[in-house]
């Protein structure tokens, strides 16, 4: 959600900033803007895409070795040129870009208006830069100190970069609740909301912590906290390859990322399971082995696709480790005064590691003494730094807004945790653990086989691309897969879709079924197979069009369904890792056929860093 890029050094800033904004387009946005300094402070901004901004500035002087850029996802004020970032102070000497929300901006704005400040946008961000100007004017403080004092007066979340016409060799950056990373070069620094715009230029990065302010010159970096105490930063080395940020010959990032799932699942498993030994080995989580043996309850908190992964985890952990699990929407959990104690383990799941609601839920859990684990894809993100321990999914950068490989990575991580807990608690025999881990090790190969269904799914998509509604049904751990299939179709093709447990169809959704409604069943051979067959017969009797995901060689469902997609035989525990792939393909091809922007669906952001 929103994107920030900044540069100060010896190179021309504009090419770095504009390419950085293009790298950040996956985060979701509705407008873009840049600020450059070359003898004067220049600001250019435009509603629309980065390409619209490029066209807008094609005939202007873009010189300067210091600059910053922003892609905005609207919160305060509709998408428009005037609400786009950067925003300037009243005297035009300061300009700011900002991710996040300033919650008390309205009160501050009233005070500033009474002092004579005139605002040109509807944003909270413009209020912030006017406040910096006002504090400087009243106190005579230098810019760094004025920014620090300003940030003590605001409530909310922010990642900001500020440029000054009076200090043209300086950038000031700060964060609280929104991510920010600094790239360290030779005589140059880079700033971004994540590492994707930086990796092309340097592997050395510093992750700003909450309430930290960076004073950045070409040959100097000073980091203070909001209490004015100098901080000693830790320089991390990025483990990210530039080619991972390119489409690699695919039409869309989403399609590329669907096809990357065999590799990403294998990477998630690597070094964690040892089938021949019947052993699961986890690093950080292993330090809590004693607590895991005796834990009374696990609470999983997540949002969106990550919540669906959590539901799969609930089935697996309860089945194999025999621990009660609750799966909570982080956005609701934080406002419900939940009952948590130091006997609980809370697992947070987030692709980006920056999801605002999930972070807030973790803060509550930590305050009440729970042990906090995290499952995250982005190394160095806020959630893994906040948690006691956890697992990285190692899925690699996911650029498409609709999560694909991140989902299967999260499910894989939860599967590993489920068997680790079962191993620690003695709820599974050694022979069974060996069998399960052997099958799990082979899942990447079965994913490769499943990916061959693409052409078949494309044919089915052509039949249903004009549907107005769709129903996705599954039982057991395939119910969350149905939820995820429905979400994918909604978010990238804009077709209304709902996921339900198959047995719940009779309790309402059956009223929707007619000859125009596609009904997608996850109908693999498992303990609930006969029940799902009965549900399929009920839909067929009412004229619904049935698309069935079945186990390879199935003949019973094949005789009833209108369209069948086969996946390889595997144990019930691992069906979600295979069954979700045809549903990803289905939503992808329908969206393409409908002319939708697959990688950047409307109104959506990849990383939701505000409530």
Instruction: Show which residues are catalytic.
Output: 2, 606
CB atoms within 10 A of CB 229: 9
In order, the DSSP letters of 569-584 are ---GGGHHHHHHHHHH
The Cα 576–Cα 584 span in angstroms is 12
Burial class (CB in 10 A: 0-12, 13-18, 19+), 595: exposed
Looking at the chain, the number of H-run helices and the number of E-run strands are 20, 26
What are residue 381's DSSP bridge partners?
none
Rounded to 5 degrees, φ, ψ at 337 are 50, 60
Distance in angstroms (rounded) separating the CA atoms of residues 240 and 228: 33
The number of angstroms, rounded, from the C-alpha of 607 to the middle of its chain's C-alpha atoms is: 4
Q: Identify the H or E element spanning 587.
A: helix 575-593
Residue 513 to residue 562: CA distance in whole angstroms: 15
State how far Cα 511 lies from the chain centre: 35
CA 303/CA 267 separation, integer angstroms: 24
| Distance in angstroms (rounded) separating the CA atoms of residues 471 and 572 | 22
Residues 6+ apart with CB under 8 A from 303: 329, 330, 331, 350, 355, 357, 358, 608
CB neighbourhood size of 425 (10 A):
16
Q: Other C-beta atoms within 10 Å of 308: how many?
A: 28
Q: Give the Cα separation of 143 and 1 in Å (integer).
A: 27
Q: How does 450-483 read in b/e, with b if 16+ C-beta sit within 10 Å? A: bbebbeebbebbeebbebeebbbbbbbbbbbbbb
H-type helices in 297-429, by residue range?
A: 304-320, 330-333, 356-367, 382-386, 405-425
Nearest-angstrom CA–CA distance, 589 and 569: 25
Task: Quickly list DSSP for 138-200.
Answer: HH---HHHHHHHHHTS--EEEEEEEEESSSTT-EEEEEEBS--EEEE-SS-EEEESSSTTTTT
In angstroms and rounded to an integer, the radius of gyration of the C-alpha atoms of the chain is 25
Nearest to 49 by CA among 84, 97, 4, 13: 84
Instruction: Output helix, strand, coil percentages for the chain, rounded to the nearest 5.
Output: 40, 25, 35
Burial label, 145 (beta-carbon count in 10 A; 0-12, 13-18, 19+) = middle
Give me the residue label for tokens 């950080």: 284
Contact 363, 176 (CB under 8 A): no
């Amino acid at each position: 959600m929103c994107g920030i890029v900044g540069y100060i050094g010896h190179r021309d800033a504009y090419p770095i900033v504009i390419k950085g904004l293009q790298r950040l387009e996956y985060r979701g946005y509705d407008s873009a803007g840049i600020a450059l300094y070359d003898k004067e402070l220049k600001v250019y901004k435009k509603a629309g895409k980065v390409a619209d901004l490029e066209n807008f500035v094609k005939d202007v002087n873009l010189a300067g070795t210091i600059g910053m850029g922003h892609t905005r996802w609207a919160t305060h004020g509709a998408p428009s040129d005037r609400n786009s970032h950067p925003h300037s102070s009243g005297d035009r000497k300061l300009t700011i870009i900002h991710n996040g929300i300033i919650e008390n901006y309205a009160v501050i704005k009233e005070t500033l208006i009474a002092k004579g400040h005139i605002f040109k946008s509807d944003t909270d961000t413009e209020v912030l830069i006017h406040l910096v100007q006002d504090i400087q004017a009243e106190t005579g403080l230098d810019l760094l100190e004025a920014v620090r004092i300003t940030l003590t007066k605001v409530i909310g979340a922010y990642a900001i970069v500020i440029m000054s016409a009076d200090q043209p060799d300086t950038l000031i950056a700060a964060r609280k609740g929104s991510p920010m990373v600094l790239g360290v070069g030779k005589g140059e620094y880079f700033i971004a909301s994540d590492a994707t715009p930086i990796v092309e230029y340097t592997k050395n990065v510093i992750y700003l912590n909450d309430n930290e302010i960076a004073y950045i010159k070409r040959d100097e970096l000073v980091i203070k906290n909001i209490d004015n105490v100098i901080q000693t930063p830790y320089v991390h080395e990025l483990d990210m390859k530039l080619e991972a940020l390119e489409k690699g010959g695919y039409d869309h990032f989403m399609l590329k990322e669907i096809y990357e799932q065999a590799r990403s699942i294998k990477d998630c498993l690597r070094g964690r399971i040892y089938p021949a030994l019947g052993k699961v080995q986890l690093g950080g989580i292993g330090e809590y082995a004693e607590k895991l043996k005796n834990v009374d309850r696990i609470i999983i908190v997540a949002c969106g696709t990550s919540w669906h992964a959590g539901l799969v985890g609930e089935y697996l952990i309860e089945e194999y480790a025999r621990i009660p699990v609750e799966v909570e929407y982080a956005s609701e959990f934080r406002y419900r005064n939940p009952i948590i104690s130091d006997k609980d383990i809370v697992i947070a799941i987030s692709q980006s590691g920056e999801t605002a609601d999930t972070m807030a839920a973790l803060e509550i859990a930590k305050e009440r003494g729970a042990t906090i684990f995290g499952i995250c894809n982005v190394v160095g993100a806020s959630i893994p730094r906040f948690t006691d321990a956890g697992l990285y999914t190692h899925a690699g950068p996911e650029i498409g807004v609709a999560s694909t490989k991140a989902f299967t990575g999260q499910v894989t991580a939860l599967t590993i945790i489920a068997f680790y807990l079962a191993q620690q608690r003695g709820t599974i025999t050694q022979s069974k653990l060996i069998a399960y881990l052997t099958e799990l090790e082979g899942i990447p190969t079965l994913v490769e086989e499943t990916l061959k269904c693409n052409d078949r799914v494309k044919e089915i998509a052509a039949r249903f691309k004009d549907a107005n509604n769709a129903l996705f049904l599954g039982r057991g751990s395939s119910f969350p897969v149905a939820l995820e299939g429905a979400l994918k179709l909604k978010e990238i093709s804009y077709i209304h879709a709902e996921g339900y447990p198959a047995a719940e169809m009779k309790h309402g959704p059956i009223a929707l079924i007619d000859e125009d409604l596609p009904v997608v069943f996850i109908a693999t051979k498992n303990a609930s197979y006969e029940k799902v067959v009965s549900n399929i017969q009920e839909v067929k009797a009412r004229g619904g069009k049935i698309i069935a995901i079945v186990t390879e060689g199935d003949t019973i469902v094949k005789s009833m369904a209108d369209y069948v997609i086969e996946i390889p035989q595997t144990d019930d525990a691992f069906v979600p890792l295979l069954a979700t792939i045809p549903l990803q393909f289905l939503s992808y091809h329908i969206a393409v056929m409908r002319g939708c922007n697959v990688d950047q669906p409307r109104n959506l952001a990849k990383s939701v860093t505000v409530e």
